[in-house]
Structure 1
Amino acid sequence: MPLQLKPTLREDLAAADRALIGGWVCSGSPVMAEIMAGSGLDLVLIDMEHAPNGLESVLAQLHALSGYPVTPLVRLSSDDPVTIKQVLDLGVQNLLIPMISTPEQARAVAASTQYPPAGRRGIGNALARSGRWNRVRDYLDDAASHISIYLQIETAEGVENAEAIAAVEGIDGIFAGPSDLSASMGLLGQQTHPQVVDAVKSTFTAARRAGKTAGVNAFDPAAARDYLDAGASWVLVGADVSLVARGSEQLAADFIPRTAH
């Protein structure tokens, strides 16, 4: 009997009557992934850029997420076409590609995620989890309908090109990264500086003009709510490692005398 894959983030966003809210898994731990998956969040993003993740650990986290009504995403370490192919073959349906600043980069990513003749994705579905080892009917013909691709805008150049990037065929939306964007703008560490916030909000407008959706990373609750009010379609509002770090610090502050520090 043919298997049915989960809806993509693109489909989730189209069906939603509100913005979607998600969190990061940066620990590389399937246990933490499962804890995040059962939280009630809409999305869980597994990070390969700044976290200790390889293909095997990403696969383990996908398995941990699979039993929950949450949409998994994976942020890759780069736009390398080989890595894109491998992660898609793992069965990842929703990709976030970092550091995209030009429409040329966007077109290269789109080509890497689609089978010929539309693109250059290598064909290995019979051997891979992507098409469930040939158990998903017509996966080769319908592969593009089973994945969604988002590009991270995190440079001043990317902001300037946001509409052209979002408009590329095969790209489903853009996602602003205020941390690297602030550095690109000469405001290192100032993610909530008014100029950075304005630049992020301009990407929302650019995406709408291109007929696409836009998201943003915002761990500051006030910033997250402001971006939601400004029209973000999805917002990532926290990470497993940050939650544990701040929570454990609070435990220490609550129970260890100040003189002991």
Structure 2
Amino acid sequence: MPAPTNTLKQRFQAGDTTFGCWLSFAEAASTEVMGTAGFDWLVIDSEHAPNDIRSIRDQLMALQSSPSPAIVRVPVGEPWIIKQVLDVGAQSILVPMVESGEQAAQMVRACTYPPTGMRGVGATSTRSSRFSTIEDYLHTADDQIALILQVESRAGLAALDDILAVGGVDCVFIGPADLAADMGHRGNPGHPEVHGAIVDTLGRIAAAGKVPGILSLSDEVAESYVAAGARFVAVAIDVITLSKAAQATAKRWINPS
């Protein structure tokens, strides 16, 4: 039996445009609810949300029957955390703050087994192999891993060609908030200079044969990015979705005006 098919990677390869949501509660119950919403994918965030390896595992379990495939954003691009996240069952990894081709290549190696990579060969007792019930896991797992790298700084943009030249990278995702801050426009990712850099970068990613990714909570801005070539688009964050819905309901009934 081979490793499970990564349906997100399939959609990347098919050229589909997909829309997803960030998960920041770090709770299996809310993640299970979001898994019923109908998004194309969901990102379990451990860079800015209070996740650890156990809560990541529990959320992957909560999404086991969801049609929305899970992506795990690791807190930092280090092989040891990628190894743990893969072993608890993630098949799609998002790495923040990638700023060189060498770093991109290291992330590819971290996601693949020797002799081409450096992922530890310990799947026998892990959730990723369904505890040894997926007999061909070691021989088929590499092909089902989707690797998404975040470029979100001026250094990352400067190294973009080197990053895009690395084989094994499926998607390059632009982090608009960090990029805006690094460009001197903290808190204003919609600044014309930032927006122009993002649009240009999306085109370069697409031209290199990678999937261009971006996040925007504004429908209008998200649509402009899709028009510019984005095919992996985050359009919601669970915490903000709940907060806005709760505020709107409270205003409707408690303080209408």
TM class by smaller structure: over 0.9
Indicate conservation of the 8 Å contact 1:75/1:96, yes or no.
Answer: yes
Give how far 1:45 is off: 0.7
Task: Give the deviation of 1:258 after TM superposition.
Answer: 7.5
1:30 aligns with 2:28: yes
In the TM superposition, 1:152-231 aligns within 5 A as 152-231=150-229
Residue 3 of structure 1 deviates from its aligned partner by 6.2
Contact 1:8 1:94 in 2 (8 A): no
Cα distance change on mapping 1:160 and 1:202 into 2, 3 Å: farther
Could you tell me how far apart the structure 1 residues matched to 2:119 and 2:2 are? 22
Instruction: Please say if residues 76 and 97 of structure 1, whose CA atoms lie closer than 8 Å, have aligned partners that are also in contact.
Output: yes
**SS of the residue 2:127 aligns to:** coil
Structure 1 counterpart of 2:234, one-letter code: L
Matches within 5 A, 1:52-131: 52-131=50-129
Instruction: Give 1:4 deviation, angstroms.
Output: 5.1
CA distance in 2, matches of 1:107, 1:157: 16
**Alignment TM-score, normalising by the size of structure 1:** 0.93
The answer (yes or no) to whether the contact 2:12–2:170 under 8 Å persists in 1 is no
Deviation at 1:252? 2.4
Letter in 2 for 1:30: A
Which residue is equivalent to 1:50? 48
| TM-score using structure 2 length | 0.94
| 1:32-88 alpha-carbon deviations (Å, 9 max, x no partner) | 212211111101110000001111111111111111211110101000111010001
Q: Which moved more, 1:141-150 or 1:183-192?
A: 141-150
User: 1:2-27: CA deviations, max 9, x gaps?
Assistant: 365132422122235x4100001100
Q: SS of the counterpart of 1:130?
A: helix
> Which residue pairs with 1:14 in the alignment?
13
Q: Is the 8 A contact 1:155 1:184 kept in 2?
A: yes
Matches of 1:123 and 1:203, distance apart in 2: 36
Amino acid at match of 1:77: P
Q: Is the 8 A contact 2:3 2:140 kept in 1?
A: no
> 1:166–1:173: 8 Å Cα contact kept in structure 2?
no
Structure 1 gap segments, 5+ residues each: none
Q: Residue 102 and residue 132 in structure 1: after superposition, are their counterparts in 2 closer, same or farther (change >3 A)?
A: same
Identical counterparts, % of pairs: 36
Three-state SS of the structure 1 residue aligned to 2:172 is strand
